[in-house]
Structure 1
């Protein structure tokens, strides 16, 4: 069955915004922007994958993409409010891929800090998640994740509720979960944080794959790997906010939003 895409006018947006809590409307805009930025990076997977966000002021209500819309089409108004089981809570014309919320619901429920959960199937993240060592400390980008990546073995399409407990255990308190042969999951207190975790991981994964490809050409291209003590130090600098380092997204997000505003095809994410 074809999904009908509804385009929202600016006047309809003002009406909807006045009917919602302002905090929820801001959350919707930030989440819609996150979808657009993932699409802009080419990390989306047609209508699949999800970025979910807890509705401000609630513990069991979430916003998620309408099933059938591309990431580049997502708007603040089109996001659907659901519960922990993926059931719709508002009168939306869109369907929701409830099965796809199995992973997200597990993390949201177990991690109070995971207000936003982001999941992608990008080629680089699938490739690195399928390697035994996962993301290796081969670049400064990778140091964000040194000692802070969980691993979840592939169990087939994530449709079974029983897999939730294993996903939670495997992720622990890490900022990312490498889903073997599947993809990557990142979490954040805001979409900005979850997005920047994806950005850094994706950059590090691409660098790793290029280095590994080059190393296959011969001993002269052998990879230089920093000592564990250096990796510990670099990771500590990032996570302890040494110098002028701030939480991921705190500085970058407004610039990324300005980038969307300059793109004539994307400012409608706010509607």
Structure 2
């Protein structure tokens, strides 16, 4: 069994990441075998875990995850023979390398997220969910499928010190100092995009909160984004897949 060959702390990280993959499937934030979630390996700042390419998110297990370095090399013998998607490596390695405080990175290709990413003005601050990201979201222009290593520098420069980003004509990205924070940000960002798409489809006039109200609301979210709160939200979400724990932690 794989767990016998690795440290307890890494195995727990693998279980948590596998659970996050399944939560993303539960909330329908998947794209067949594409898109990725990565997690920095505890006590190993230059290594991170990412999905074995070809496994559906709702079938992800701790043993399916692959430990790689910032150059995309598999670093443990027990992961040899597993495939890693190049685009996933490029996007995630860029952020993990440039932002040492980032623990988890989520990238999605949902229909609503991509729809908003095609809008010239990007995310519209018309909902409470969207206002969480007021003046707190970055944008990165589309350059094609992310397989060019040179794009890493531009992606990191565009992200700056922010945690969330819209990849134009591509999808969404959330980078958190914890798994809980990354999940919480992505959940709210995806919901904000869903609301925007529905609101635009109605065709009527929309109400637009003032910049002052948007900033006030964003600051309220900043205060609410306490580690204990986002952890509580993540653990509550895990109850939705509690019956799968023995499977994803294997």
Q: TM-score range by the shorter chain?
A: over 0.9
1:68 paired residue among 47, 54, 57: 54
Indicate yes or no: 2:182 matched with 1:174. no
In 1, the alpha carbon distance for the partners of 2:26 and 2:122 equals 25
Q: Which residue of 2 aligns with 1:80?
A: 66
Instruction: Indicate how the Cα distance of structure 1 residues 69 and 152 shifts in structure 2: closer, same or farther if over 3 A, else same.
Output: same
Structure of greater Rg: 1
Q: CA deviation at 1:42?
A: 1.2
Corresponding residue number in structure 2 for 1:7: none
2:91 maps to: 103
Correspondence for 1:256: 237
- Structure 2 residues without counterparts, runs of 5 or longer: none
TM-score (norm 2): 0.94
Partner of 2:107: 119
Residue 19 of structure 1 deviates from its aligned partner by 3.3
C-alpha displacement of 1:266:
6.0
Higher helix share: 2
SS in 2 for 1:107: helix
Post-superposition shift, 1:171?
Answer: 0.6
Partner SS for 1:132: coil
CA distance in 2, matches of 1:208, 1:99: 28
1:246 aligns to what?
226
1:269 corresponds to which residue?
A: 248
**Cα distance per residue 1:93-138 (max 9 Å; x no partner):** 4211234210111111111221111111001111111112211111
Paired residue secondary structure (1:185): strand
- Name the CA distance, whole Å, in 2 between partners of 1:211 and 1:179: 21
Residue 127 of structure 2, aligned match among 95, 116, 139:
139
Q: For the residues of structure 1 that align with 2:199 and 2:64, how far apart are their CA atoms?
A: 41
Is the 1:117–1:188 Cα contact (8 Å) retained in structure 2?
A: yes
- How far residue 18 of structure 1 moved from its aligned partner, in angstroms, is 4.2
For residue 218 of structure 2, the aligned residue among 216, 235, 238 is 235
User: How far is the alpha carbon of 1:240 from its aligned partner?
Assistant: 2.7
Check whether the contact 1:150–1:176 (CA below 8 A) recurs between aligned residues: yes
The alpha carbon displacement at 1:246 in A equals 3.0
1:42 to 28, 35, 38: 28
For the aligned residue pairs, the C-alpha RMSD in angstroms reads 1.5
Give the superposition deviation at 1:185: 0.9
In structure 2, the residue matched to 1:9 is none
Correspondence for 1:28: 14
Distance 1:250 1:53 in 2: 16
CA distance in structure 1 between the partners assigned to 2:137 and 2:168 by the alignment: 12
- The number of residue pairs the alignment matches comes to 247
**What SS is found at the alignment partner of 1:80?**
strand
Contact 1:44 1:121 in 2 (8 A): yes
Moved over 4 A (4+): none
